Amino acid sequence: AIPYFNERNMVISQGRGLAAEDMGACVVSEHFLEEYGLGIGDRINIKFGDKLFHQNAVCGATADNEEELSDFVDGAELEIVGAYRFTDDANMRLSEFKWAYSSSTVFVPKSLLPVEIPPDYEFSPGEFSIIAEDALDIETFRENAELFAAEMNLALRFSDGGWLGVKDSFEIGFFASLLTTVLYGVGAALALFLAVCLYIKRNKNAYAIMRTLGVPASKARNAVVLPLAALFVPAMVIGGLAGIFYTMETAAESLGTMTADAPAAYIMDTSVSVWMVILCFCLELGFMLAVTVFFLGRIGKIPPLELLQEGTGKNGFGKKRNRKWAGWEIAGPSTNAGPPVPVRLDLAKVSAAGKMAGGRRYYAFGQMAAYSFRHMRRGIGKTMVSFAIMVLLASGIGMFGLTRLAYEDAFREIDVKGRALEFSSSSILEMCGLGLMDGLYCHGGFTVRTNGHGSHTQMTFTNDIDRYLENRGKVTYAQGYHSSALGRDDAVCLIGSGLAETLGVRPGDEIALISDSFYSTIEEMYNNNEVILNAVANGEQSLELAVEQRTTVYQVIGMIESDDAEVDSSIFAGINSVMESVYGQPFPCSFCEFTLSDNERLDELDSLLSEQKTSGERYAPMASYHIDAERLKNMERICILLESLFPIAVTAAVAVGLFASGLVILQLAREAAFLRILGVTKKRARCMLMLEQVFLSVAGILFVACCLALYNPGLFTRSAGTLAFCYALYFLGCLSGAAMAAIRITRGRVLELLMMDIY
């Protein structure tokens, strides 16, 4: 909640920060550890003062005079759990923030405060911080906070950590992941419903025979249910535990390892509550039991003899109507006194050329399609359940794919900012041309001598003069020049109006510049006799002449008028190779801020900065950098987690589709027998049985694809390749299940098929 940490001006560089549950812990600076030879995990003794002090902008929490000094009271022995580092330069800290911290500041838990704060105590000048607990409320919170701050005449500094930039992608990902869970859950429930329905229907003849033989209804029901329960309960336990452990292990690997001593608040919990597991098992078992009782109750209301009869019930198979199907004619009971002819093949209707009487041509696919559509109409309930399962599973795959893509968008949209302190100018210039950084902003400075004067003038260099000034001055450029001139490799500069008046220069004039450090180096060289002899031999007669030959001439292209004394008396120029000639060598750049151009190249940028820091130690020995990539790494863990779970989710959907289509066809043994009796070949019969499931799977996939395209056209278009591959696997799974079941029930003889249906 400390704004200085929130805005990444201070970061935890080692260990961790304080947590709410910490009691005997503290966080110190890296400099503190170095000065006292300490490390993370060491313990220090601290005594606390007995007075409260306001935070001073420069000196921190200090007394104004000796009378206000604290008397130190007994303290505590604290364990160092973390170390912090400043990521902004000292000038920025002192000028922009009222609450400044030094490298000797020690952060301790509030519970160790040795004095009680009076109720009427005023924190002035003061600062308080508020954290919005729900990220989805941040925008509303900001709007209300702005109104509150305006009414109370307070200064409001708001930081959302880049949330508003990725909010839309997060909301899409959250909704898509929630919908994916619901779709998979409903799809699994429907698949279980269909499995129980088909199992009970398949065993109704066995139930009827037991009831006819005098077996009590309860024992008959138990005989039907026990084999199902013997398979279902172990499968539920094994499958559920396997899924839980797989997900937990995958999540733990994807989220990465945390430090062993990190508090619970810093670690994402990947475990699953035992009570939640038990609840899920009980719900699944209860659902299966309810469906079983429902269907057993339905067949229990039908007399046993009626169950043994074909064409009874509400299936519609006994409707008294004639049905014509290609060259076959199936007639209902005759109204004449003579016996009915149930099946008749009129060979005269089929010519040798394969043409129907009346000029119509016979098509095998049309015959099979007509049969499949009529069969779907007759069993409309089973058809709708099968179609719903296919739609739900295909939707689950699609929404999972969109979820992955939404979080990948958030991964790419997160702004990864970094800061580099005291890097050499040559390193900065080299890194600018590699395309790894966007919005690069640098500034720094050193003192120079102007036009041979001995006065020390501050020369500030920056690549964005408007951002550096921040309305602290008004720039008037000479004709033909603009701020972009400072970004080129030219010897041009701006000058404060006060300094311009002192030096007597105006826009368009030229001034000679040399840094104080370069001048001192030349002066030291001339104190060496050998250097003097060499200089005389080269025609250099004096120190002044040598300095003059090494000065760099800059053209003044503008004037800055400012009430700020520092701005009014300074020279401003861009960062380029000409500036290095003023300094005499590559110079350290005080502050550099940037944004990662491509989030997937984070490691590349980190390696580059580390390499430049090492190679530039000669000119910038104090170089350091920090890339604020924690949010990106968290998002990367989520993307990796979804990437790891996606294959198993697709596999689960394909498996359910495979077994669901197979179970439906396994119930058609009697119909397969009738087709074989009528002379239909095995190959044709298998195709007729499979075609229904093929129609349903294709229709379900096309329906889901249209819905996804309407839901989010952009994400659907970008994920079309992945979804096409997954849907192809899903279709192949359904087709394989249907094919295996069709082969299974048609490979035997006709009488065996009839017996298969009975037993």
Tell me the per-residue pLDDT of 227-247, one tens digit each, with 9 for 90 and over.
Answer: 888 888 888 888 888 888 887
Of the listed ranges 122-136, 501-515, 739-753, the least confidently predicted one is 122-136
Q: Distance between CA 472 and CA 216 in Å, rounded?
A: 97
More confident residue, 411 or 256: 411
**CB of 571 within 8 A of CB of 494?**
yes
Which residues fall within 8 angstroms of residue 459, CB to CB, at 6 or more apart? Answer: 445, 446, 447, 448, 493, 513, 515, 570, 571, 572, 573, 582
Q: What residue type is assigned to position 713 of the chain?
A: P
Is residue 458 within 8 Å of residue 546, measured between CB atoms? no
For the CA atoms of 62, 67, 68, 74, the dihedral, rounded to the nearest 10 degrees, stands at: 100
Judged by DSSP in three states, 146 sits in: helix
Question: In the prediction, which pLDDT does 242 show?
Answer: 85
Tens-place pLDDT, residues 573-592:
988 888 888 888 888 888 88
Give yes or no for a cis peptide into 339 (omega within 30° of 0).
no
The torsion angle over the Cα atoms of residues 35, 41, 42 and 48, rounded to 10 degrees, is 90
Residue appearing with tokens 């880049």 = 162
Q: What is the pLDDT of residues 592-617, one digit of tens each?
A: 888 888 888 888 888 988 888 888 77
Query: How does 615-643 read in b/e, with b if 16+ C-beta sit within 10 Å?
Result: ebeebbeebbbbbbbebbeebbbbbbbbe
Mean pLDDT (the chain) is 78
Task: Tell me the per-residue pLDDT of 702-750, one tens digit each, with 9 for 90 and over.
Answer: 999 998 888 888 888 888 888 899 999 989 988 888 888 888 888 766 6
pLDDT band (50, 70, 90) for residue 752:
low
pLDDT in tens, 485-498: 888 888 889 999 88
Angle at 447 between CA 442 and CA 453, to 5 degrees: 140
Nearest to 188 by CA among 703, 652, 700: 652
- Is the pLDDT confidence value at 341 over 50? no
Reported as a single tens digit per residue, the pLDDT across 682-701 is: 888 888 888 888 888 898 89
pLDDT at 353 (0 to 100): 44
Region of residue 153 (left: phi > 0; alpha: psi -120 to 50; beta: else): left
Tokens 């490298």 found at: 103
Q: What is the pTM of this model?
A: 0.69
Classify residue 49 as exposed, middle or buried by CB count within 10 Å of its CB (0-12, 13-18, 19+). Answer: middle
